Amino acid sequence: MLRVSKGKPNDGARPTMADVARELGVAKITVSRALSDHSTVKDSTRTLIRETAERMGYRLNVSARNLRQQRTRTIAVVIEMTPSHERLMSEPYPLLLLGGILQELTAAGQNMVLTTIDLFSQAPPSADGVILLGQGVHDDAAAVIEATGLPYVVWGAEHGPPERIVVGSDNREGGRLAAEYLLGRGCRRLLFLGDAEHGEAEDRLRGFEAGLASSDAIIAGNIPCAFTLTAGREAVGPLLDGQSLDFDGIFASSDAIAMGAIEALQARGHAVPGDVSVVGFDDSPGAALFSPRLTSIRQDWGVGGELLAQKVLDKVAGKAVASRAMPVALIVRES
């Protein structure tokens, strides 16, 4: 049931889509779909939303509509992550994805404008379509992009509505490969490190669980942490205060997390892989340079970037487009 509020929108400023959503107690994406005649919105709901928007003085984003009619030959690439001194834009993710995107867009005679989700939500750039790198927790970033009405594709996991086009790696298979490898090394008490609130990490965890299901091994700890080296170090550190280790294997949902975990183990005198075997995810360029050289699940960001660009251009052109889960591979090294 829709809830109608009588509060004043936006402190007297020009009302936004978010104000209409707040007035009715519905999601912003529901308002967006109703105003663009999306088939998933019931007629009664669509009518109420349109009447409320008109009463509040909301005006549809005409610029977005015009952009679909008059092409800018520009694609907006929106990065969901917030850059920090621990997670830089110059790291393999998102840089390798951006390289693939730019190569494909340039070959197609298209421009690219790069921004973050925070800046995009404040002032969307003029573009024909959008590529979103990372869905955010509970798909919140994807909802912001979808609300613009522009054609878009996402790098991540297929956790949203079926019509959303997603390019990503086969994260469940990656988790299964990690489990198979650690079991083969004799590991039986395992840790999973990563934030399963993110769709990709959740799929990696589910695949890991499935890979262990028919064995006598257990996940002794499931520790949420950010995709950084510092987070991996801090996730494992508190587990090393006892006289002996309570785990013998780690599957980290990124290479950076894995490297941080190894640093924490080595700082306490534990050998990797002698005492604990570690598998990362990404096969980032640093994996082969780390000590010990990191065993990792490889995903091809460069090809992923090219696919994202191809699919968003096809969507802009009105062509039928399908999601794509790219194959992954276990790269065995020393850890």
Q: For 290-328, what is each residue's pLDDT tens digit?
A: 999 999 999 999 999 999 999 999 999 999 999 999 999
38 band by pLDDT with thresholds 50, 70 and 90: low
pLDDT, position 321: 95
Amino acid, res. 186? G
Report, as an integer, the average pLDDT of 46-63: 78
pLDDT, position 178: 98
Amino acid, res. 11? D
154 band by pLDDT with thresholds 50, 70 and 90: very high
pLDDT, position 66: 47
Q: For 204-262, what is each residue's pLDDT tens digit?
A: 999 999 999 999 999 999 999 999 999 999 999 999 987 689 999 999 999 999 999 99
61 band by pLDDT with thresholds 50, 70 and 90: low
6 band by pLDDT with thresholds 50, 70 and 90: very low
Q: Which of 39, 56, 52 is nearest to 3 (CA)?
A: 52
Average pLDDT of the chain, as a whole number? 88
pLDDT, position 77: 96
Where would I find the beta strands (DSSP E) of 80-125? 111-116
d(CA 157, CA 172): 10
Q: For 173-196, what is each residue's pLDDT tens digit?
A: 999 999 999 999 999 999 999 999
- Quick count: other Cβ atoms within 10 Å of Cβ 38? 15
Paired residues of 278 in beta bridges: 250
Report, as an integer, the average pLDDT of 123-147: 85
d(CA 3, CA 22): 9
Q: Which of 140, 101, 99, 95 is nearest to 117 (CA)?
A: 140
Report the percentage of the chain scoring pLDDT > 70.
Answer: 88
Report, as an integer, the average pLDDT of 49-67: 70
pLDDT, position 195: 93
CB 115 within 8 A of CB 145: no
Maximum average pLDDT range among 39-48, 52-61, 72-81, 253-262 = 253-262
- Quick count: other Cβ atoms within 10 Å of Cβ 105? 24
d(CA 317, CA 124): 20
138 band by pLDDT with thresholds 50, 70 and 90: low
Report the percentage of the chain scoring pLDDT > 90.
Answer: 61
Instruction: Enter the pTM of the model.
Output: 0.78
